[in-house]
Amino acid sequence: MRNLLRFVPLYQERVWGGRGLESALGRTLPAGRPIGESWEIVDRPEAQSVVASGPTQGWTLRAALEKHAAGVMGPKWPAGKPFPILMKWLDCRERLSLQVHPPAGVAGELGGEPKTENWYIAHTAPDAHLIVGLKRGVTRAQFERAIADNTVEQCVHHFNVAAGDSILVHSGQVHAIDAGNLILEIQQNSDTTYRVYDWGRVGLDGRPRQLHVAQSLRSIDWNDFEPAPLRAAPTSGTIADCDEFSIRRVVLGPGERCHLRAGEQPRLLSVVSGAVRASLDNPPGSRAASGERLARGDNVLLPYAGAFTFAAEATTILLVTENFARGG
């Protein structure tokens, strides 16, 4: 399998969501619903990405891995192993809950999965914030009292963000996304989230949403104080590097090209600003969507067996996610 794989988005209704994916990314959303998440690439029992075009149109990501594991992921990838990354757009019209994902050391005993994730800020409202980590010196006992007193806001680390900023949020870091942020989230394939505090909000059914205070207190890293985001830069470079994946920012001027070779590893490519023309650099006769246009908001899977060139139409920023198939 050599063709790039583009998938049908899976839209998720969230109480904190809105309609921002329509205006920001030109998406057509389900009518009359607050859409908080667009799952762009996912391989989970409860949610499957479906190929949107090309010779494998209509296939699920799971089917593609079962039939062409070597071509998609490389010769050492087991055919039954799930795709290791979940990628989603987040439209945060309101603040999300304060939450934590369990680290690997406690996830099993809590019946969950670890989740390290990276947030790339594509757009922000004026004075938009993120919350990641604890204020310096806050203890577990202080935090527990703050939950009871509804003063948790005073215990967590807030910072301003702007378009182009990013931050790697590890399992165990308490966090929340504030209102007014449009974020591309690239994460481990996990859907375990423990809500520790929800700012007094009710859900779409008018009732308070479920909290997971005991699990959260077990999961929070109590030595994680005031992490700093990576600020936007006009140059190419690595923006995230962890055991689960790495992410490179690639900045292209008009007419400049990015080449990604076959036989190295599978990759994910995200267009976070601008647009590119994608061409398949394989021998003549290969079935390919040569010249396919990828615009802001598009995310595609580049199989191990495919070689690609991306030519920028204007100044463009790409995110290239890689090094997620090392365990295969």
CA–CA gap between residue 75 and residue 48 (Å, rounded) = 23
8 Å CB contact between 309 and 258: yes
Exposed / middle / buried, residue 146 (Cβ in 10 Å: 0-12, 13-18, 19+): middle
Q: Any idea what the Cα angle at residue 57 is, between residues 55 and 59, rounded to 5°?
A: 115
136 is annotated as an active-site residue: no
Beta bridge partners of 279: 309
Which among 195, 248, 249, 267 is annotated as catalytic?
195
210 sits in which H/E element: none
Contact of 1 with 64, CB cutoff 8 Å: yes
Give the closest residue to 186 by CA, choosing from 101, 120, 93, 95: 120
Q: How many helices (H) and strands (E) does the chain have?
A: 5, 23
Q: Which residues neighbour 283 within 8 Å (Cβ) at sequence distance 6 or greater?
A: none
Cα distance between residue 124 and residue 44, in whole Å: 30
| Residue 269, helix vs strand vs coil | strand
Of the candidates 24, 151, 179, the residue with the CA atom closest to the CA atom of residue 92: 179
By DSSP bridging, strand 10-18 and strand 175-177 are unpaired
Catalytic residue set: 195
